[in-house]
Structures are given as C-alpha cells and as structure tokens.
Amino acid sequence: MSRVATELKTALGEAGHRLTGPRLAVWDVVASSRSHLTAEEIAESVRDRDPTVNLSSVYRSLSLFAELGLVRESNLGANEASHWELAHSDESFHLRCTSCGKVEHHTGDLVTQVEHHLSHHHGFHASRVELLVHGTCAECAATS
Amino acid sequence: MSRVATELKTALGEAGHRLTGPRLAVWDVVASSRSHLTAEEIAESVRDRDPTVNLSSVYRSLSLFAELGLVRESNLGANEASHWELAHSDESFHLRCTSCGKVEHHTGDLVTQVEHHLSHHHGFHASRVELLVHGTCAECAATS
DNA sequence: ACTGCAGTTGCGAATGCCTCGCAATAAGAC
DNA sequence: GTCTTATTGCGAGGCATTCGCAACTGCAGT
Ligand SMILES: [Mn+2]
Ligand SMILES: [Mn+2]
Ligand SMILES: [Zn+2]
Ligand SMILES: [Zn+2]
C-alpha cells in the first residue's frame, strides 16, 4: 500500500470509516493536484484510473473528507459548482482574477486579526473564515 | 409616485430600463427589509402585493438591480440559494452564527487594508471582496 | 483463510435553484 | 392615442448535488 493510501486509511480508520477504491482514487486526485477542482473534474481524473467509479461516490468521498478536515470546499462564485482542494487554513485566502480565471492563494495574518477582534470586542467566536477577493491579477493588469 | 418608486425609476431610466410593476414590487421588498432574503422569500412578499408576479421576474429584477449596483448578492453557504439585500460596501462583511443562523454585519477597515496590500505588494487589483465569518454569536455563546 | 454483516457503492430518479424560449403584454417616446 | 420594443408569465430546461435502494465488499472476528 502506497504512502498516501496508508495515510488515508489511518485517517478514515480513526473515524470508523473504510478505505475503499473510490475513496483512494478521489484522494489521489485531490492530493496530487495544486488547483481548485470541481467534483466533475475530479470524477474525470478518477475515471482514468477506474472507469467504474460513479459521480455520486466522488461527491460522497469529498463530503466525508471535508468532515474529517482532509479537504476544503470553496464557493468561488454565485451559482457555480463548489471547488475542492487539500485542506488549508483560513489564513490562506483566495484571489480570483476576473480576467483569466486563475485562483491564487495569499497568506497573511489579517484573518487571524479579524477573528481576535470579533472575539474580544464583539463576543463572536469564529469557526471558519472565508475570504474571497475578486479582481485583476498582476499578469492580466500588465497585458491589458 | 412614491419616493422609492421615483428613485428606482431614475436609476433604471439612466441605464435605459423601464419602471415596471414587478420591478417596483421587488424593489419595495428588498429596500424595506434589513435582512438577507432569498429570491423565493422575496417572491413571497411580492405576491402579497401582486400575486401575478412570477418568480422568473423576481430573479430578472434582482439580477438587473445587481448590475446597476442597487442590490448585493451573497453566497452564505455552499449549495444554498443566494441571499439578496440593498447594496452595501465590501467593508461591511458578514458574520453568520452556525447556531441560530442569524447574519450580522461588521464594518472595519480590514477589507480596505487587504485591498491596499494586494495592490501595492502583489499587483492584484481588487474589484470586490467577500468576507464571510462563520461562528457562534454572543447570544448563542451565552446561552450554551 | 472463511464468514458475517454493517458500511459503501452504482445506478437512476429526484431535488433545488436558477435560466431560457417564446408568445402575449405594457411602458414610455413621439 | 399609436407604435415600438422592452418586459413579462409561463412552461420547459439545465446544472449541481442528493437520495433510495439493491448489490457489493472491507474488514473484524473466528
Ligand atoms: Mn485554496
Ligand atoms: Mn449584508
Ligand atoms: Zn489574470
Ligand atoms: Zn447565534
């Protein structure tokens, strides 16, 4: 059993879930990608390895992984499919270029500052922060 | 013609659109509410005034108002309907309590800081920022 | 290794939100 | 008031996601 397979099996086992073919295939795709993929895109890659895996199982695997904190689901736009990736902290937020569509990450302490401010001054205890910045990336600004 | 009707007519007229019954009804509902409503909820209120207004027209009105900068559309959760309200700046962001569901606003200069940082240090020019904080509100924290 | 069974899957149907196409209607310029 | 064409109601369609269920399979116990 490969390295990633063992890691996934451990994470699943601790939560009382089984390691199955579809789950491993979905995990391999998400863990080896650096981009934000839709369930359909993940399913396409999964089918390369095993064409019998159903789209429903891809959704079920992704939902389970999200519950276990293994992946992150993001809404990058109204009425768009969710995008999935390996889990990363709220500190690392999303910059989406409205021109080329690229999604970049930016990490700063801003999110932590907001969390502390809300907690100390307003009694609001943050569990998850989603920060999405739409705009024009450096490359697109230079080109236009 | 009422005050809000005149204001809406001006905004529409300047952009080459007509003031119609459905549009005025949708506007009245959104402008007189302080909450974040779904299109379906808006349609329900609109039907109280005029039962012939179709849900499609509510969607069409809301989309148009958003293009004109009159209303704001927000995604408050994955796989949830969009929520609509009178337009407000990105500075004012959303706190959603995962316990009672309430959505509050919080205004600070943090969003502006991020915009400036991204612009000055990374060449990314923000056009719209969506900041959504999930967590437990003060009332729910006290009750539990 | 064999068995048993609860967890998991594939499949198709269903759901929810939103958009479209089109003929009928009505706003507003003249 | 007439005319033009933007807008509407309505039904159908589209897309992402979820559900129900019988068949299958991981894996714990033996
Ligand atoms: Mn990301
Ligand atoms: Mn708001
Ligand atoms: Zn770009
Ligand atoms: Zn609350």
Ligand closest to B82 (CA) is 2
- Could you tell me the pLDDT band of residue B83, with boundaries at 50, 70 and 90? very high
- Alpha carbon of A78: minimum distance to chain B alpha carbons (Å): 6
What does the pLDDT average to over B52-57? 98
Mark yes or no for CB contact A134/B127 under 8 Å: yes
| Percent of chain B's residues with pLDDT above 70 | 100
Residue B37 is given by DSSP the state: B
Supply φ then ψ for residue B30, to 5 degrees. -65, -45
Domains and CATH numbers, chain A: 3-86 (1.10.10.10), 92-143 (3.30.1490.190)
Question: What are the tens digits of pLDDT across the range A62-121?
Answer: 999 999 999 999 999 999 999 999 999 999 999 999 999 999 999 999 999 999 999 999
Mark yes or no for CB contact B95/A118 under 8 Å: yes
Residue B89, pLDDT > 80, answer yes
Question: What are the tens digits of pLDDT across the range B94-123?
Answer: 999 999 999 999 999 999 999 999 999 999
- Could you tell me the pLDDT band of residue B2, with boundaries at 50, 70 and 90? confident
Q: Which residue is nearest to nucleotide C20 (CA to C1')?
A: B56
B12: left (phi over 0), alpha (psi -120 to 50) or beta: alpha
What does the pLDDT average to over B2-18? 93
- Name the strands in the sheet holding A103-107, side by side, starting at the edge strand that comes first in the sequence: A103-107, A92-97, A125-136, B125-136, B92-97, B103-107
Q: What is the pLDDT of residue B124?
A: 98
CA B72 – CA B89 distance, rounded (Å): 9
Mark yes or no for CB contact A138/B117 under 8 Å: no
Structure tokens at A128: 């998850």
Question: What are the tens digits of pLDDT across the range A8-44?
Answer: 999 999 999 999 999 999 999 999 999 999 999 999 9
- Could you tell me the pLDDT band of residue B5, with boundaries at 50, 70 and 90? confident
